[in-house]
Structure 1
């Protein structure tokens, strides 16, 4: 709420970057530090709220009038977009996302996120350290050696992989204007308004799916879709594998630099209506991000496919998180969770038994009648034996 002249020693009124939601200005703090100041446009919340309300109304109408399109989950997709936009409208959330991403990569020397100046950050204003680097779309590729370009793409692929698979928290707006490269080949990211999250199980399914495509194991691709619940379990694995092959082979047969896994996943979804495959809103953002990331990699080094560079990372990740040792760790973690919950379970049991001792054992007659309904089929004696055993057990415990 303070005037600009009280907050900053200098403030350039002309924005260095502008978008539909906000614009960015260069400024200097009282201590001489150069900073980037992002400011929301006036009344932007009202305009976006009106547009998003209209989009959601249309999505609801679509689901109600076209039952065959409900598998696409248009309302859920719009709600995902609405949540993202609501976060974008509060720059404190964006600042927190920048902080989280920077912490995730604190030990990664070739990826940097600007520091947030929380003293000069609020709901409508976000201040970060200034970046001295060149936007990816302004790099002079004509004077760059081929091995340097390949190294940058390899680093970019690694950064993207670590965000998606290691952390499950990724920058979802990686267009060239949001990515910078300095003289040391370090990537710098800006604009953290759109971020994506994937839980561990989704990351495991995604890794298996991509690995299946990259290795030509289409049965694995099909099995993963069914196991994940993306495709109903009554569908044929072999037929789905055939559908996956029909899409993948034309794309994977292209020159290396033209292969697009994002386009492959989009086409896979487009032809799988016969398998009643449902949309996965949590993956829509990732698919869009993959498409943009591929464009960045292709611009830097047209003859290199970033997914082939990331393939060893995916395979190592699968071994670490899905191999035999990982299964043992998961089992141990599950047992530890049970042990940690045991005191609470015992407390709940004691409370339940105390209520039974105080109020007596109450059995609903309708439930007894329903449970005893199998006597004519030879199941009655089992029911009464189980009921008697339960009563005896409770009596012993309460004694």
Structure 2
């Protein structure tokens, strides 16, 4: 009886501290997840950002001693930006995905989970706990699915009846034996929209993602973006929301519950050209609080260049030429050369030809040659 009361108290407390949804599950092994992860590993579909030890991802007893329960929490985030600035000719803008609007969600969820930890330890002084958000050993989505937060959609996101898939997830493992909640039935049915419209075909089939083809992953890489994906990026600077925006379960969903998740329009949808020459200090000061900054400015700047090429923004040519000639990083110089060719204009061939005579880096030379081919058309 005590544990039932404690669970009720914890649920009530979670609501007091601004947690939108909470669910409980056992700490038993995630056997079906193990099979999926092994298949992903065999197919080379993993991004490389995950916990590499599959057993740690599926066996909570490898994380804390004698685990009994896992608590899953969900916080709803906005899907629409108020007063979004327009992207206009000569003043083109990029976009950060919704999961990078407002304060880094890792920070927000960790604060909530720490409060839950303190509450549990106050009630059960010998309780053991371990919290994690996104980068922990366990799969937040597998925990949320088993804890009844939502079902795992064909887009591989957890979809909740209340908030759609626009939720951040976090977990708390404990040796306190809470009564588990029931998982939710899959409600995707025959709908296959997310799979059909994925820009890069990363959704191989419903519920299976080749992370290496996913734009959300590709925008975070630091090297040259493979040619086949450059025209798919559009003006995305970090992440991709396509599989969420097309989902019928997200239609009309837009919650503005947490002030810290509200986007600053000039940060979430920034002007592109100023980002080309932003310093490390300026980048950290302006973007350091958002989750999309975690890889530093290099991937963002490479994506800025691709976005300018996508828009064929001729007004950006002077800045792109400067970057191609002066930036010390080969990936940025080479991508700028490719973009100059893509944008074209009467002077593009001459500019790239002169760069070809001066450049020494083999990778950059290859990009200049690609730019020359594009400029010739």
User: When the two structures are superposed, what TM-score results if normalisation uses the length of structure 1?
Assistant: 0.23
Greater fraction of residues in helix: 1
Higher relative contact order (CA 8 A, sep 6+): 2
**Which protein has the larger Cα radius of gyration, Structure 1 or Structure 2?**
1
